[in-house]
Amino acid sequence: MSTRSPASVLALLLAASAAGCGPRAPRERGVPAGVPPDPVERPATREAAEAFAAAAHARLAGLDSVRGRLALGDSDARFTAWFEHGHVRAVRESVDFGDYGSSVLRWTFARDSVVLVTEDGARAAPGGAPPAPVEMRVAFGPGGDTLAARRALGGEPVAFHPGWLLGIRARAETLLVRSRLLRASAAPSGGSHP
């Protein structure tokens, strides 16, 4: 059994996702040639981001999707990514932190950038106490600025470390790139998904 805390495992996951991930033009980030720019505008307020995410997730059943997996150390993540207008619109990621617990993250994207990420999960408590629920919501604006960031463990607010925001953006980038690669590899020979 590893001696890493759940927070350090999450930080390691987010940091590994960040390796080599900086701002890039959409074409460099894996948007296939011939795919027009995403027609969806990025929300400018937390409320608009929440409404946009709710509407996007309500449409998932009608969208193309791919499934993938990411692993790092003791953690294992499985995800499904949905595409709209040739762009990743949403990702549902289930992360198993081994002895430390698990989480489900829901990512929503517009214009090839994360708009909203939510996390619902449980973390192991010290001394054999029952696992504590963990919740997180982070909304991003049109320029990538943070509109709102909230995290709670066991119902109690937890200080949101600024490095987590960098890790969240990097993880979003990793999910975008990996999803596009999976979709491209699943495309029929000589064609692509609509």
Distance between CA atoms of residues 79 and 148, nearest Å: 24
Contact yes or no for 151/168 (Cβ under 8 A): no
Strands (DSSP E) found in 97-165: 101-110, 113-123, 132-140, 146-153, 156-157
Query: Which 3-state string (H, E, C) describes 27-70?
Result: HHHCCCCCCCCCCCCCCCCHHHHHHHHHHHHHCHHHCEEEEEEE
DSSP code for 159: -
What is the pTM (predicted TM-score) of this model?
A: 0.78
Distance between CA atoms of residues 95 and 80, nearest Å: 12
pLDDT in tens, the chain (194 residues): 445 555 554 544 444 444 444 443 334 355 667 677 777 788 888 999 999 999 999 999 999 999 999 987 888 999 999 999 999 999 999 999 888 899 999 999 998 899 999 999 999 877 777 889 999 999 998 888 899 999 999 999 999 888 899 999 999 999 999 999 999 998 654 433 33
DSSP code for 124: P
Contact yes or no for 183/79 (Cβ under 8 A): no
